[in-house]
Amino acid sequence: MPDPLQTLEPIPGPALKNEMMLPAVLDPWAGHALFEAAHLAQKIAGSKVWLVSLAPKAKLQQVMMTVAQKVPFELVALDGPSSGFTDSFETAAALAGAIEGIAGLDRSRLLLFGGWESASRGAGSTLQMVGERLGIVEQFQGVDQIAVREDGSFEILERIEGGKHQVSVCAAPPAVLGWATGNLPEPRNNPQVGMVNMRAVMPSLQRSKPAPIGNAGLTFVSVSLPKQQRETRVVKNVPAEEIAREIVAWIGEE
């Protein structure tokens, strides 16, 4: 997705102004999911992480230059739009199709990780549809933690209202986990991991199939930037006690 630290401006389509010129990054929540997956795979013998990603090939290559240095994975690339304006239904179809095509993937043991939302569309609806297409009905969203037990079951913490977590135990895979932030910091760059990953990344990018995502039946009536500029009253050189009195009075106003 376009780096969220950039200025983002919509144009008719809708699309982002100069979208292909904007630097691309791995979606933050997808990043958390990837790091949690790699952390888990490291602990469970025989596990492997595939990173299935849908984006314009050139942007994907750019993103891989940094992400590939973080954790070991095998890239499955789909050459298609990564715009926030693409619909989740067709995106899910493309992703599910790519997962079905992974040779050597034991789907009965699959833990499908992803970000619970994207920072572009922010819908939180794609993973559920991917899961449904793959026949997985053990699904969890807003996940912050997974703990695998000795019997192969796993305990999951999902975000719910009021800053709490719901605790569930899933007896066995397959399952879908949409990650919130999790608990892991971003791994440091590891050039050795990067070199191993990149050997497979480049061929994967070359093999990537076009995945055009239409928005059938969807019409954007308008897309606009918010006009929320406020007239800020700046209060300075005023004693803290006086400011405190003003704040307390303001808090008490109905």
Partner 1 sequence: MDSILLLVHTEADGTLAKAALEGLTAALALGGDLSIGLVGASVQPGADQIASAGAKRILAVVGDEFSQSRYSTDAAAAEALCRASGATLVLAPATPRWARTLPGVAYRLGGRVDTHVTALAEQNGTAAVTRWFYRQRMEAVLTRTSRPWVVLLDGGVVPAWSGAAGTAAVEPVVVEAPATRTTVTGTRSPEAGEQTIRPDAKLLFVAGAGWTKKQADGAVHSADAEKLILGFLHATNASLGGSKSLVDLSGEGEAVLRFMTHMNQIGQTGATPRHPKGLSTCCHGEEPHAVGWRFIGERRAINLDPNCGWARGKADVLYVADAFEVMGQVNRLLQG
How far apart are alpha carbons 91 and 98 in whole angstroms? 11
CB of 190 to partner 1, least distance (A): 18
Smaller CB separation from partner 1, 52 or 130: 130
Which of 50, 72, 85, 193 is the binder for partner 1 (CB under 8 A)? 85
Smaller CB separation from partner 1, 92 or 201: 92
CB of 31 to partner 1, least distance (A): 10
Per-residue contact flags (x/-) with partner 1 for residues 225 to 254, judged by CB under 8 A? xx-xxxxxxxxxxx-xx-xxx-xx-xx---
Smaller CB separation from partner 1, 207 or 245: 245
Smaller CB separation from partner 1, 27 or 204: 27
Q: Backbone phi, then psi, for 11, in 5-degree steps?
A: -130, 165
How far apart are alpha carbons 190 and 188 in whole angstroms? 6
How far apart are alpha carbons 124 and 45 in whole angstroms? 31
CB of 216 to partner 1, least distance (A): 7
Cβ–Cβ < 8 Å for 85, 13:
yes
How far apart are alpha carbons 16 and 7 in whole angstroms? 10
Which of 21, 45, 103, 216 is the binder for partner 1 (CB under 8 A)? 216
Cβ–Cβ < 8 Å for 197, 190:
no
Which of 63, 77, 157, 211 is the binder for partner 1 (CB under 8 A)? 157
136-155 binders of partner 1 (CB under 8 A): 137-142, 144, 155
The footprint of partner 1 on this chain (CB under 8 A) covers a number of residues equal to: 90
Cβ–Cβ < 8 Å for 91, 82:
no
Q: What tokens does 66 get?
A: 């940094």
Per-residue contact flags (x/-) with partner 1 for residues 169 to 208, judged by CB under 8 A? xxxx-----x-xx-x-x-----------------------
Per-residue contact flags (x/-) with partner 1 for residues 110 to 139, judged by CB under 8 A? ---------xxxxxxxx-xx-xxx---xxx
- Is residue 108 near partner 1 by the rule CB under 8 A? no
Smaller CB separation from partner 1, 65 or 247: 247
Query: Exposed/middle/buried for 131, CB within 10 Å: 0-12, 13-18, 19+?
Result: buried
Smaller CB separation from partner 1, 160 or 200: 160
Nearest Cα to Cα of residue 89 among 126, 114, 116, 122: 126
The 3-state DSSP class for residue 195 equals helix
Smaller CB separation from partner 1, 49 or 119: 119
Span of 35-43, 56-64, 106-114, 212-220 interacting with partner 1 by CB under 8 A:
212-220
Phi-psi region of 88 (alpha: psi -120 to 50; beta: other; left: phi over 0): alpha
Angle between helix 57-67 and 191-207 (nearest 10) = 170
